[in-house]
Structure 1
Amino acid sequence: MGFFLDAWTWLATGSNWTGGDGVVHRLGEHLYLTAVCLGAACLIALPAGLWLGHVGRGGALAVNISNAGRAVPTFAVLVLLTLSPLGKQGDLPTIIALVLFALPPLLTNTYVGMRETDRDVVEAARGMGMSGRQLLARVEVPLAFPLIMTGVRSAAVQVVATATLAALPGGGGLGRIITAGFGTYDTPQVVAGAALVAALALLVEGVLVVAERFLDPMRGRRRGGGKPQPSTDGPRSGSPSRSTPDKFDEKVIPAQPTA
């Protein structure tokens, strides 16, 4: 318990937040690295997953290959790239390793989301004369959007957490706070750095959840907002009311004489 109190004291110290090795600077490096890696992975995986899911051919093989890549440790890939000639290119080895790490959830969720769209809806849209592009943009992508965003959120959180490895070959980010703490045997600094990474991962997850709700093209229909609601208003002006008899109701039928 004392570690957490000491870590809180470290975080509450203003001098630890300023300067080249401060939290603010390292947080900016971490966010920049995360945004670059996630953006590059999305540019590769999302178009591939959308197209493979749309045509329905070759997607299973691509997903299996990408999932097999999860068995390769990111740290091992990072070390190999750092020892290669690419190691002299700054953060490039870290970016490549993190992009490869983010591809499987993005590709898998996008492809599965496209293939699990309601086929009756897709066939009905095709029967209405929609072209392939119209079908993709107006039917399949809106229906698959929640699962696609689940893949984006998963990849984003994984990249935020794994980007701490960038500090091992000398890169930036919040991992530098942790490695510096290990180097000086400063346990509160190590705990504080880990807490910052966890808080950032939770924050990124929350921001993406909110973004998904606002960007979902079918959010109203998913909530049932597109269904017609029964009217609670009274009778419209000019229409007969049941409480007001018309001329046929006022007609009196004479009684027939009895024999």
Structure 2
Amino acid sequence: MNLLSDALKWLVAPEQWEGKDGLAVLLGQHLLFTFISVVIAGAIAIPVGWAIGHTGKGREIAVGAAGIARAVPSFGLLILLVLLLGVTHKPEAAVLAFVVLAIPSLLAGAYTGFEAIDRKTIDAARAMGMTEWQILFQVEIPLGLSLLVGGIRAAVLQVVATVTIAAYVNLGGLGLPIITGLNLRRFDMVLGGALLVAVVALLLDMLLAIGQKAAVPRALGSKQRKVRTQDSKTSLVQEKELT
């Protein structure tokens, strides 16, 4: 408990939030790396995932590539990219490493969103004379948006947690107090930095969870609630019959 209280005191101390290496600046750096990495990864993975989900082709290749990307150790990849690109391109190397980390979740969210759509809905849209582009933008993307936001949610959480390693190559972020605290044996600083990262991750997850819920089409959401209500009534009836 003493360590936790010391960490909280360090975290809320006004002087920790001031200066060029203050927590406010480090938090901004952390969020900026996260935002840029997820946006770039989304620009790559989402169109590819939509193409796979719409055409039904290339899923095995995408799953294999995503599995390889997940298996790559982020810290090792960051150090390798820094060595390959040079110390003058450390920010680019860090962003590239985080993009590789974010792509699998975004890719999976994009194509599974399309795969979850009832094929009868797609067939009905084609029977109405809609073009493939109209089906994509007016049917598949709106219906698959919830799972895509779920993929974005997973990617953001992974990147937020991993951006802490940027401090190892002097790029700032909330990993800096953790690394500095370890070197100085200031465990209150280490725990305080870790708590701040956890709070940021929880807040972002909460916001994206709200966005994911809002992305469910109203008709689909009411249908899901109706199904849950029917299931509950069926369970109650079965329980009464058993008793």
TM-score by length of structure 2 reads: 0.88
Matched residues in 1 for 2:203 and 2:162: separation?
A: 15
**Contact map agreement 1:10 1:192 (CA 8 A) in 2:** yes
Aligned positions of 1:3-42 closer than 5 A = 3-42=3-42
- For the aligned residues, what is the CA RMSD? 1.6
Is the 8 Å Cα contact of residues 153 and 208 (structure 2) preserved in structure 1?
yes
CA contact (8 A) 2:90 2:169 kept: no
The size of the alignment, in residue pairs, is: 225
Instruction: Report the 3-state secondary structure (helix = DSSP H, G, I; strand = E; otherwise coil) of the residue aligned with 2:82.
Output: helix
Instruction: List alignment gaps of at least 5 residues for structure 1.
Output: 228-259
Give 1:220 deviation, angstroms. 4.8
Q: CA deviation at 1:224?
A: 4.6
Distance 1:81 1:219 in 2: 45
Structure number with higher helix proportion: 2
Q: Is the 8 A contact 2:85 2:93 kept in 1?
A: no
Measured in 2, the distance between the counterparts of 1:181 and 1:107 equals 36
Instruction: Look up the equivalent residue of 1:80 and give its one-letter code.
Output: L
Question: Residues of 1 paired with 2:42 and 2:29: CA distance?
Answer: 20
Question: 2:179 and 2:219 mapped to 1: Cα distance?
Answer: 47
2:146–2:213 Cα contact (<8 Å) kept: no
Give the secondary structure class of the aligned counterpart of 2:117: coil
Amino acid at match of 1:208: L
- Report what 2:236 is aligned to: none
Mapped contact 1:181–1:190 kept (Cα < 8 A): yes
CA distance in 1, matches of 2:189, 2:126: 59
C-alpha separation in 2, matches of 1:131 and 1:119: 16
- Give a deviation string over 1:110-163, Cα, whole Å, max 9, x none: 112212210011101110000001101111112211211111000000000000
Q: Which residue of 1 aligns with 2:221?
A: 222
- Give the whole-Å Cα distance in 2 for the aligned partners of 1:32 and 1:135: 35
- The question of whether the paired residues in 2 share the 8 Å contact of 1:213 and 1:219 is answered with no
Give the Cα separation in 1 of the matches to 2:181 and 2:152.
32
Task: Please say which of residues 73-82 and 110-119 is displaced more in the overlay.
Answer: 110-119
Equivalent pairs: percent with the same residue?
A: 38
SS where residue 90 of structure 1 aligns? helix
- What does the per-residue CA deviation read over 1:172-199, in whole Å, with 9 as the maximum and x for residues that have no partner? 1101111111121111000000000000
